[in-house]
Amino acid sequence: MSWYRHKVERDLAHWQTAGWVSEAGAGAIRADLLSRRSPFGVAPIFAMLGAILFGCAVMSFVAAHWTGMSKLARLTLLLVALWGCYAAAFALFRRGLAGFAQAAVLAGIAIFGASIMLIAQMYHMEGNPPDAVLTWALGALLTTVLVRSPAALAATFVLGVVWSSYERTLAGAAHWEFLPLWGATTIVAGWLGWRPGLHLAAISLVLWLVPLGFFLFDHHAHWIVAALGALAALGAAVAGPAIDRRMRGSAALFAYAIILAFAGLYLLAFVDESRFYRAPDTSWTPQLVLLAVLTLALLLAAMLWALMSGNRGALWLAYGGFALEVFSIYVKTFGTLLDTSLFFLVAALVVSALAWTAYRLHRRAPAAEASA
Amino acid sequence: MIGAPTRVLLSLAIVALVQTAVLAYMVIDRMRLIASGREITLPVVPVDPRDLFRGEYARLGYDVGSVPLRLLEGPRPRANAAFWVTLDKMPDGNWRAVKVTSERPREPASPDRIVLKARSSYAWPHDSPPETAVRVRYGIESYFVPEGQGRKLEALAREKKLATLLAVDGNGNAAIKGILVDGVLQYEEPLF
């Protein structure tokens, strides 16, 4: 949150000299900002990293002292470490060190996972390895619900994505079982009221959706991903005010939807594109042109909407996507320079025309506001 | 982490208890299988003859680890879903796969027949010749040996015959109970 405080601090100074904000008002705003400190300061974040490293240390210690310890001793050590973490979490919570308590909870979850892996190793269990990750994720979800821990929530999302990717890789098929776990975790995130948790929900869903096209229909169905993203973006733009009345979030939804739509189109055009090229020397096909035009149109529309709705995140994402798209087109069509230059010329003309339109719109807007 | 200390204490205690119970279940389930499962011996076929025991972790291959497509009866198993392989004991004492089914076969147990639960990473081919070999895993393909012991076992494997002693329960779950070198039990798994 500190970047925000810095910005407000700068603006406050300006507003105060202009006489719009009184001395008392500025003081009250500063006090409010200070009271809204995030629970995740620098110290707790280091503590979290420490917790993860602690989990790794326990895992390799037990794995290394294979011969020197009986199975019973190894199991006892794992359970002592597990209970120790949760006891430490309680002690830290009682002393009012919530951030450190979160780190201890995270360490407990890490040791739970390490124990699953080590017990599987000790007893030569193989079964279906993703099941172990699912068990770990469910343990993390239980911790999230009972302890109301944001750190455990983040762990649940990460483990859910790992589980689903693992299962999908092994089966080579879409893994719909991810959705119930994701839904449950997202409901818990909403119930906790921890905003970054909802971002994690969106990010894990995007991570799950992007490769989905590889596993549907003809295994090249990325258009579904692109269409889903475009629809969601449209929904976020049209129903934005309605969404924001319930819960401020249409701007973020729009940004994630644009990522999804762009990812689908990008996969079609540059990653999973081999079937476009029948002869090895053809590098420029009508499909690629169509996809490039569609992608650039989507990104330009996203930029325009982001500018109009003041969505800075989406604006930067669209800029980034635009740069990536143009660069990829350049790499793909390298060798047929004449075509490339023609494409860039057309693109430049289109973008310039849009810039002019945007400029005209921008000039008219304040005038309309003034007359209203 | 909001709430009265008692509530937090209770929540953390429940979390620790449930997680302990999950871990205990894993161990007890395995002990039950090893202690009461039916014993069979399967000869080991080296997966990678040059480097069978890579340090502390060995990959074990079996003759029954690949089954011809023609053995499949009934619907094809989904990719990475469990299915069952029926093994028959041949007159020479070796086990051979005779049937693959998506459901667990409900036949009375016999000393010359055993059912193993298996998985395959890939979808079963549709239109391949009946002799096409399908690779299956029974969950007995890796063996973790004590640190430093890997090289010794590797040297043994080069000149002698290795086999695994398995315990198999009624559902077809299999667990490695020990490793035999030239028919003599060399590594036996302690339960604790």
Q: Quickly state the pLDDT bin for B53 (edges 50, 70, 90).
A: very low
The residue-averaged pLDDT of A98-108 equals 89
Closest Cβ–Cβ partner in B1, B3, B189 for A101: B1
Cβ atoms within 10 Å of A155's Cβ, excluding its own: 25
C-alpha B9/C-alpha A5 separation (Å) is 36
Cβ partners under 8 Å of residue A310, min gap 6: none
The reported pLDDT for the residue numbered A67 is: 62
- When the pLDDT of each residue in chain B is averaged and rounded to a whole number, the result is 81
The residue-averaged pLDDT of A99-117 equals 90
pTM over 0.90: no
* Chain A residues closer than 8 Å to B8 by CB: 90, 93, 147
Q: Which helix (H) or strand (E) holds A79?
A: helix A71-94
C-alpha A124/C-alpha A117 separation (Å) is 10
The residue-averaged pLDDT of B118-130 equals 76
The token duo for A339 is: 């075509």
The C-alpha of B26 sits at a distance from chain A's nearest C-alpha, in angstroms, of 8
Cβ atoms within 10 Å of A219's Cβ, excluding its own: 11
Among residues B42, B167, B45, B38, the alpha carbon closest in space to that of B94 is found at B42
Q: Is the pLDDT of residue A142 over 90?
A: yes
Q: How far is CA A176 from CA A151, A216, A224, B123, in A?
A: 25, 12, 15, 17
Q: Which helix (H) or strand (E) holds A343?
A: helix A337-371
Chain A residues 87-126 with CB within 8 Å of chain B: 87, 89-90, 93-94, 98, 101-102, 105, 108, 112, 115-116, 119-126
Q: Is the pLDDT of residue A244 over 50?
A: yes
Percentage of chain A exceeding pLDDT 70? 87
The reported pLDDT for the residue numbered A368 is: 45
- Put simply, whether A333 touches B (Cβ < 8 Å) is no
Q: Which of A148-157, A274-283, B3-12 has the lowest mean pLDDT?
A: A274-283
The residue-averaged pLDDT of B169-184 equals 86
Model confidence over A251-273: pLDDT tens digits?
Answer: 889 999 999 999 999 988 888 76
How high is the ipTM of this complex? 0.81
Q: Is the pLDDT of residue B49 over 50?
A: no
